[in-house]
Structure 1
Amino acid sequence: MTTSTPAGQSTVSLRDPAQLIAATPCLLGFRPTDSLVVIAHRPPTGSRIGVVLRGDLPPPRYRKQLARSLVAPLLADQALGVTQLVVCAQRKAQAQAGGKPIHSGLVKAVSEVLANAGIPTKHALWVPEIRAGARYRCYQDPTCTGRLPDPATTVAATVMASTGQVTFGSRAEMGRLLDPVDAATLTRRGELLDEWSDSLVTEDSGRVLERDRREVVAALAQSRTGKLRLTDEQAVRLAWALSDRRIRDDCLGLALPAGERRAHDAERLWLELVRGIPAPERAEAACLLGFSAYLRGEGAFAGMALDNALDAYPAHVLAAMLAESIRLGVPPDRLTRLVPTGGPPDWLTGTTPGGSG
C-alpha cells in the first residue's frame, strides 16, 4: 500500500461521494488508475478525512494480503470506518451485464478483514476513471450513482492551488521527479567524490565540520532565490557534508514548520541532490526529502523518496525507519519527535558562527 495524505491534512467532506471521488487525486497527489483507495473516517465524529491509502488492484489470491496490510495504519489513525474506492475501467460486456461494479470480491474481502479489526466499511464506490462527467456507482446500493464534477473545481484542488502544490497525471509522472540527471554527470561526480574523500583524510575534523556547515547554508541561500544550479564541485561537497550524521540530523529540522517556505527551499535542494548525486551518497538527501514531504502531507512522494534512499543504500537506518513509519500510517506529528528542538539549529538559520551571518 501507499500511504498518502496523513490524517488532518484535508478539508474534504466524506458526505458527498462525487466530490470525494473528484478530490481523490488531490488527496493522493496524483490521479490513480487501476487502484484501490481506502479513505479513513477520522475521529471524533467520522465526518472528516483521516489517512488515505492506495494500492494496485491485486489478483484474487492476494486480496486478503492487501486487506491485512491496511489494518495497522488504519488502527494507528484510530479510524472510525472507511470509504473504499475502486478506480478501474469496466469492460463493455461487464457494464451491459448489470449488477455490481467490477472487483466486488476485493471490496468484500477488504470489508471482512477490516470488520474483524473493528473498522467498518461505511461506503464502497467504483468509478472507471477520475474525470469530469465520469459516472460512479456504489457497491452496497444500486440506486446510488451519479457523475463526477470537474476535479479541478473541488475544494481540495482550490486548497492545493493556493499553496502551490501540484496534482500529477499519474503515480509514474510523480515518480519521474526523482529521475537522475544524465549518466555522464553522475559518473563525473562519483569520481570527484572518491578524490574528495581521499583528500580529507588528514584534515582537522573541526575545520571540516565548519566548512561543511557553510556549504549547506550557502546552498540553501541559493535555493531561496529559485535559481538552484549546482556545479559538480558543489554537489560533491554537499554530498560529503550530508554524510556527516550531525549535519544530516540537524537538517531534519528544516522540515519544520511543515509546508512553509523554509521547508520548500530545503526540499528543492534535497531533490536537486537526489537527482544529481550517485549512489550510495544520494541516500542522505533522499531521506531528508522523504521526511519533509511526509510532514507536509505528501505521503506518496515521501514513500518514493525513501524507496530511492534505500535503493541507493539498503542499510540506511533512518530511511528504513521512516519508510516503515509511513507504511504503518504513523501520524506526521509523531515523527516530529526526531527534531527535539522543534526546528533547525542556529547554524542553519545563519545566526551563529558557521552559519551565513
Structure 2
Amino acid sequence: MTNNHEARTPSGEPSGTPSGSTTNPQITLRSPAELADALPYMLGFHPTDSLVMVAVHGEGGRFGGRLRVGIPTNRAEWEDTARQVAECLVRGSERRGGKPDGIVIFLCQDPRDDDSGQRVMTRLRPLAQGVRLACGALDVPVLEALCLSGGRYWSYCCPDERCCPAEGNPLALAGTSVMAAAATFAGLQVRGSLKEIEGRLAPLRGAAAEEMEGALDRAAAALMPKILDGTTREEIGAGTVALARSLMRRMTLAPPAEGGPRADDWDDALLGHDEAAALILGLQDREIRDIAAEWMEGEEAAPALRLWRALARRCVGVYAEHAAPPLTLAGWVSWSTGDEPTARIALGMALRADADYRFAQLLHHACSEGIDPEGLRHCLREERRRREPRRKRPVAAVRPPGRRKRPARRAPRSTAGSDQ
C-alpha cells in the first residue's frame, strides 16, 4: 500500500503533514506489521482506547481519509458505533473525491490490571466484526482489521497461524522501522499518546480542584456587584485582557525546563487560583475570546498556549463546561502553529465540554477538512490592526451568577451579547 500523508480525514484525527507542508512521502507498506507501525505516524500520536479507520483508494492502495473515535465502554453501543463510523468515513470520502476502494481498521486498547493483550483482542472481536459488516453493507471491503494491545498486534482477517499466531506478533521497536525513518526524514512527529495529550488538558483533581472550585465561586460572586455598581462590559473585558497579557508575560519570563507533565506543573505553580478564576470567567465572553485568539503566532503563541492549557486544567467541578473557551483557544494556537494532532484533540475536548460551542465547532470542522489556517490568521491580524476604543455600554442584560445545584454561586456562561 502507498501512504499519502497529505490526505485529510473527514472527521476524527489528522494526517501527519502540518498544514501548508509540501512534504508528500510515498511509502509502501507490505504487511500487517508495517501497517501497525505506520498508525501513529498517520495520526501524529499513539491512539489509546480508539477505533481508527483509514480509507484506501486505487490499485496502489493510496491512503485517504481517516477517522478516530473512542471505543465505547458499553458493548450495547458497538453496533450503532460501527454503523455510524462506516457511514461517516465512506460518505465523507465520497464528498471529497471518491468512494474508498477499501478500508483498514485498527482497534487500539491496552490491557488493564490482570488483563492481557490477547484477551483484549478477543473482547474487541465483535466490534471489529461489526465494523466489517457495516462497511460491507456500503459496498466497501475491509482489507485488514488489526488489534493493537500490550505491544503486540493481531489480525482479525488472517486465519493463518503461521503468520498470525494466537499470541500475536510484537510491534516494531519505536524508531526502528522504514516508516519511522521516512517520517523522520519528512519532519513528521509522533506527539506521545492520546492519553498523554488529553492529560495535559484535563481538569485538576484532589485538593487543588477543591481550592480552584472555591476560587471560581468567589470570582462569580464578585462579578455581580461590579455590574450593579455600573461597571461596563468594556471595562470588565479590558481587565480580562490585561490580566491575560500579564500572565503571558509571567510565563514568558519563566520558561519551563522541559515539555510534558513537569512543564504543566511548572505553569500551574505560576498561576494563582483567583487569577485563573477571573480569567476563565472573562473568556466566556465572545469578544474577549476573539481578542485572545489573536495571540496565535510569533512570540505570543507559546506563552498563550501554556496559559490556555493551564486554564483548561482549572475548569473543575460544576465549572467543567467553562473549559470550552480555553480548550478551543489551545486548539486554535496548536493548529495555527502546525500541530494538527494536538489541535484536533483539544477541539474535540472543547466540544465534549460544550457541544454547542460554535467557535470550537467551526475550528474542528475546518481543521478536519484540511483548510489552511492562514485565512483566519489574516482576519484576526486585520481586526487587531483596526480595533479602536469603542463607546462604553452597560451590561444590563448579564444574567446573575448562579450554579445549577447552588444557584447563588454559579458563574455566568457569558456576558451580555456574547455567543459561541
TM-score by length of 2: 0.61
- The amino acid across from 2:104 in the alignment is T
Deviation of 1:249 (Å): 1.7
- 1:32 has 2:75 as partner: no
Give the SS at the match of 2:379. coil
Q: Which residue of 1 aligns with 2:221?
A: 194
Is the contact between residue 13 and residue 66 of structure 2 (CA under 8 Å) also seen in structure 1? yes
Deviation of 1:269 (Å): 1.0
Is the contact between residue 18 and residue 136 of structure 1 (CA under 8 Å) also seen in structure 2? no
Q: Which residue of 1 aligns with 2:306?
A: 268
Deviation of 1:287 (Å): 2.4
Q: Compared with structure 1, are the counterparts of its residues 342 and 139 closer, same or farther at alpha carbon in structure 2 (3 Å cutoff)?
A: farther
Give the SS at the match of 1:71. helix
Counting only pairs closer than 5 Å after superposition, residues 193-272 of structure 1 correspond to structure 2 as 193-201=220-228, 202-225=230-253, 226=255, 228=267, 229-255=270-296, 262-272=300-310
Counting only pairs closer than 5 Å after superposition, residues 46-61 of structure 1 correspond to structure 2 as 47-48=62-63, 50-56=65-71, 61=79
Give the SS at the match of 2:53. strand
Give unpaired runs (5+ residues) of structure 2: 1-9, 19-23, 110-116, 257-266, 390-420
Q: Which residue of 1 aligns with 2:198?
A: 175
Deviation of 1:343 (Å): 5.0
Counterparts of 1:190 and 1:319 in 2: how far apart (Å)? 25
- 1:108 has 2:132 as partner: yes
- The amino acid across from 2:13 in the alignment is S
Counting only pairs closer than 5 Å after superposition, residues 1-357 of structure 1 correspond to structure 2 as 3-6=12-15, 8-9=17-18, 13=27, 15-16=29-30, 17-26=32-41, 27=43, 29-33=45-49, 35-41=50-56, 47-48=62-63, 50-56=65-71, 61-62=79-80, 63-78=82-97, 80=100, 81-87=102-108, 89-91=117-119, 105-115=129-139, 121=142, 123-129=143-149, 131=151, 134-137=152-155, 139=157, 142=160, 148-154=171-177, 155=179, 159=184, 166-168=191-193, 171-177=194-200, 178-180=202-204, 181-201=208-228, 202-225=230-253, 226=255, 228=267, 229-255=270-296, 262-278=300-316, 279=319, 280-293=321-334, 296-298=339-341, 301-310=345-354, 315-322=356-363, 325=365, 330-333=368-371, 337-341=375-379, 346=384
Deviation readout 1:184-226 (Å, 9 max, x if unpaired): 2221232123203432451354444443332222222333343
Of the structure 1 ranges 67-76 and 190-199, higher mean CA displacement relative to structure 2 is found in: 67-76
- The amino acid across from 2:87 in the alignment is R
Is the contact between residue 30 and residue 174 of structure 1 (CA under 8 Å) also seen in structure 2? no
Superposition RMSD on alpha carbons, in Å? 4.4
Counterparts of 2:374 and 2:296 in 1: how far apart (Å)? 9
Q: Compared with structure 1, are the counterparts of its residues 236 and 44 closer, same or farther at alpha carbon in structure 2 (3 Å cutoff)?
A: farther
Counterparts of 1:321 and 1:92 in 2: how far apart (Å)? 36
Q: Between the two proteins, what is the percent identity of the paired residues?
A: 16
Deviation readout 1:50-102 (Å, 9 max, x if unpaired): 434244276564333442243344445546453222446445997xxxxxx87
Give unpaired runs (5+ residues) of structure 1: 95-100
Q: Compared with structure 1, are the counterparts of its residues 15 and 302 closer, same or farther at alpha carbon in structure 2 (3 Å cutoff)?
A: same
Deviation of 1:353 (Å): 9.4
Count how many residue pairs are aligned between Structure 1 and Structure 2. Answer: 326
